[in-house]
Structure 1
C-alpha cells in the first residue's frame, strides 16, 4: 500500500508515541503490536531497552535479537476482575501483568525458575530493593556447596551486574510470612520465556526497573 509523505509521518509518529507511553506512564489508547503492524516498533523497543548509564551499576542495552518480540514490554487489552494496580503472574505463558484502568494491562515477559512454579496464590509486595544482595537458599547450597560463601551468615552476594537478583527485587509475603517468592531482574536475557534451573520470577533488568517504580509496597500479587 502506498502512503503519502504526510500520512507516513503521522503513522510513524503515532507508533513511537504509543510505545514511549509505556515508559512514562499508562496510555489508555495504546494498541497491541499485532494491531499496529508498525515498522517503527523495533526502534521504539530499542529505546525502551537501551543502556541505563546512570544506574549504580550501569546497564548495557539489551540485544533484542535474543528475545522473542512477544516477551517485550507493552500495554494490551486485558480483562480481569482484579483491582487496578494488581500484579498477575501467568506461569503457564511466561507473562506478568500489571493491571491498569479501562481494561488494560502492562505486560512483561518473564522467565521462571524451579521456585517460580512451586508457589501460587495471593500475596503482596512486602518490600522492594534497589540492587539487592542475594543469599542462596539452603537447598541450593546443599546442591552447590561452593555457594556457601554467599550464605546468610556470610552476608550474601553483594549487588552488581553478576548478582542473580539483578537491578531490583520485589519480596512477596503472605501476612507476616516470607513466601521466599521473588520478582527480580536478570542479565540472562536468553531465559525470558523459558523455565530455568533456579530462581523465582526473573525479568529483564530494564523491565524490573520499570515495574519497581510503578508499584508501591503492599501491592497485591496473584500467581496463577
Structure 2
C-alpha cells in the first residue's frame, strides 16, 4: 500500500507538471524614452538599444555659447553635434554621424526643401568607385527603414541650387557619434523626426570649422573627438 501511494503521488505530480503553463518568454529590454519603437507613415522605426544611445548621444536642451541667431541649425562635424538654436544662449542638441560627403560641407547653406520618407539615389561617384555596392541601386531606392536617408531628409541649398548635401535620418544607430564612409549628416531616425518638425524651409545651416569648434566647445572636447575618430575604423 505505501508503494502504491507513492506511485500515485508521483503520477499526480507528473500530471500537474504536464499541465503547467510553459515558461514565459524573457521580457523585452526597456526602451530609452524618446528612442523607442515608432510607427510612422506606414513604416516601423526600430527602437535604439540602450547601449547605442548613451546619455551624451541623447537629444537635449543645452546652454549655447555660439553667436548664431535663434532658428539657425549649426553643425559641428568635429565633435559630432548638431545644434538648433532656440533662444539666446540656448539650443536643442542632437548627436550626429558625419559621412564622407558630409565632411565636404563648408560654410553656410540653407534648407531648400524637406521630405518625409524620401527616395534615395547614389551619386555617380558612388556608383563609379563602388560598383559592387551601388550599381544595382543606380536607379534609386524607395522609402523605408533600409533607405539610407531614413525617415526624413533636409536638402541643403546654396544660391538656389541643391548642394547635394543632406541632413537625414538613419537606421544604422551604430554609426551615430562617428565618422562614416558614406552619407552626409546623419541622426537617429527618432531625432530627425523631432528636428524635422522644428525647422521650416529656408532655415540657415552653419557648419563650424575646427577652429570655431575649439573656440566654442573647448580644446579638451575637440581633442577627445579627434582622438576618438583617429582610433575608430570608418565603416
Q: TM-score range by the shorter chain?
A: 0.7 to 0.9
- 2:135 paired residue number: 148
Instruction: Describe the SS at the equivalent of 2:154.
Output: strand
- Report the TM-score, using the length of structure 1 for normalisation: 0.76
Q: Can you give the 5+ residue segments of structure 2 that lack an aligned partner in the other structure?
A: 1-29, 209-235
Deviations 1:60-113 (A, max 9, x none): 211121233211100000022211110000011000000011311000000011
1:197 maps to which residue? 181
| Structure (1 or 2) with the larger CA radius of gyration | 2
Alignment of 1:14-163 (within 5 A): 46-146=32-132, 147-151=134-138, 154=139, 156-163=140-147
Q: Is the 8 A contact 2:69 2:88 kept in 1?
A: no
Q: CA RMSD in A?
A: 1.4
Which position in structure 1 is the counterpart of 2:217? none
Q: How many residue pairs end up in the alignment?
A: 178
> How many angstroms apart in 2 are the aligned matches of 1:73 and 1:213?
14
**TM-score relative to the length of structure 2:** 0.72
Partner in structure 2 of residue 179 of structure 1:
163
Q: Give the secondary-structure state (helix, strand or coil) at the position aligned to 1:180.
A: strand
4+ long deviations beyond 3 Å: none
SS of the residue 1:196 aligns to: coil
Unpaired runs of at least 5, structure 1 = 1-42
Q: Deviation of residue 47 (structure 1)?
A: 2.1
